[in-house]
Amino acid sequence: MKTGREEKIRVILERGVEEIISRESLEKKLRSGKKLRVKFGIDPTAPDLHLGHAVILRKLRQFQDAGHEAVLIIGDFTAKVGDPSGQSETRRPLAASEIRRNLKKYLRLAGKVLDLKKAKVFYNSKWFGKNGLEPVLKLAQAGTVQQLLRRADFQKRIEAGRDVTLLEVFYPLLQGYDSVMVRSDVELGGTDQKFNLLAGRRVQRHFGFAEQEVMTLLLLEGTDGAKKMSKSYGNYIALDAKPAEMFGKVMSIPDALISKYALLLTDLNVMELAKLKPLAAKELLAYEITKLYHGANKAEEARRFFNSTFREKKLPDDLPSYKFLSGKETLGEILRKAGLVPSAAEYRRLVRAGAVEINQRKVSDPTFKPLNQAVVRIGKKKFLKIVPS
């Protein structure tokens, strides 16, 4: 039987982890009793944190619960540059006003997962925004053009004839310099962040510091079951989503993602969960996730609301289904083609009257274009399940 300390180390090293560089070294440090500084950086490029961010925040909390120091970097400077990871086009740099607006929720939402009283929080404008050009020029020596252009994101864009700006090439070095400034022992990120995390090791070495261990975590697909969770794709579940919305969105994920969501977002026993029928497993998953962010009482209310609306008498057993072009057709066009509304004018009237709902939320914009699988309700008796083709 594992002791509490051994179990914490096992969970840190295994649950949701894709790769560790290097595992042997990190495991040795974890067993040594040394207090490690474990870093995770987030650029405030959008006003919300979602469950995709929670995957890494939860891993950071696991380190924290094992007695290590959680270091959260808010990239208020690097957000002006834009992380090129996974981008097929140059990202638009954010204005300072946008960054300030996006920042408002970040710490409150991160505090739903981390113990912020024990964490160290840094804004990287502290060292990038005030020190002038000299440290940037010194930082430029930490990487070579060949190394930075080797990343797959850049190679694809160059082959396609798309631009890669010098600012984007510099981004991994900026992220690496954060590791120097906070004396990072371990850095966490998604699998799409591997290049940036390894750049951090090179930058630390360049400035004469020991290289951080790197841990990449599995990426969480969004509610569409295809692309990684992102506000850009409209497939995200916000950490501050209302309980009924959070519960309902988890219930809308494909069955194939139940185990992965449980592994990355909860402490549920994935093997035990797999013994349940998919609907029961998904309901338990939705309850657990909602409970984490809203408490048991609100999670139970959300469960009852969902069941009374979607699983009991109010939702037909023979729910009709209609395939649509994700992001290309308005909901009104879909409902007209499916025969649920006679005209665009009638659809607009129903929207104004608050009679159209998608996944329990009223539709207020007649031009709304759905992206993901959803259940649409018109009035009290008309239902349609829409599925991306």
Percent with pLDDT over 90 in the chain? 49
Query: Is residue 266 domain-shared with residue 203, that is, in the same domain?
Result: no
For the segment 203-230, the average pLDDT, to the nearest whole number, is 93
Domain membership of residue 124 (yes or no) is: yes
Least confident among 83-92, 116-125, 305-314: 83-92
Domain assignment present for 49: yes
- Same structural domain, 33 and 114: yes
Among 267, 282, 311, residue at a domain's last position: 311
Does 205 share its domain with 265?
Answer: no
In a domain, 292, yes or no: yes
Average pLDDT of 314-326? 73
Given 265, 285, 311, the domain boundary residue is 311
Q: Identify whether 356 is part of a domain.
A: yes
What pLDDT does residue 134 have? 59
Instruction: Indicate if 29 and 78 belong to the same structural domain.
Output: yes
231 inside domain: no
Per-residue pLDDT tens over the stretch 22-65:
899 999 999 998 999 999 999 888 888 999 999 999 999 999 99
Q: Are residues 207 and 279 in the same domain?
A: no
Show the 3-state SS of the chain. CCCHHHHHHHHHHHCCEEEEECHHHHHHHHHHCCCCEEEEEECCCCCCCEHHHHHHHHHHHHHHHCCCEEEEEECCCHHHCCCCCCCCCCCCCCCHHHHHHHHCCHHHHHCCCCCCCCCEEEECHHHHCCCCCHHHHHHHCCCCHHHHHCCHHHHHHHHCCCCCCHHHHHHHHHHHHHHHHCCCCEEEEEHHHHHHHHHHHHHHHHCCCCCCEEEEECCCECCCCCCECCHHHCCCCECCCCHHHHHHHHHCCCHHHHHHHHHHHCCCCHHHHCCCCHHHHHHHHHHHHHHHHHCHHHHHHHHHHHHHHHHCCCCCCCCCEEEECCCCCCHHHHHHHCCCCCCHHHHHHHHHCCCEEECCEECCCCCCCCCCCEEEEECCCEEEEEEEC
59 and 208 co-located in one domain: yes
**pLDDT at res. 152:** 72
Residue 107 lies in a domain: yes
Range of the domain at 333: 321-388
Output the domain CATH number for residue 274: 1.10.240.10
Least confident of 88-92, 255-259, 369-373, 382-386: 88-92
Whether residue 68 is found in the same domain as residue 179? yes
Question: Do 121 and 77 lie in a common domain?
Answer: yes
**Is residue 70 a part of any domain in this protein?**
yes
Q: Give yes or no for residue 137 having a pLDDT over 70.
A: no
Does residue 237 carry a pLDDT above 60? yes
pLDDT in tens, 8-23: 999 999 999 999 998 9
Q: Structurally, how many domains does the chain consist of?
A: 3
Identify the pLDDT of residue 1.
Answer: 47
Residues 74 and 133 occupy one common structural domain: yes
What pLDDT is recorded for position 315?
A: 57
- Residue 322 confidence class, pLDDT cut points 50, 70, 90: confident
- For residue 313, is pLDDT > 90? no
Among 222, 250, 276, the domain-final residue is 222
Give 370 or 290, the one with higher predicted confidence.
290
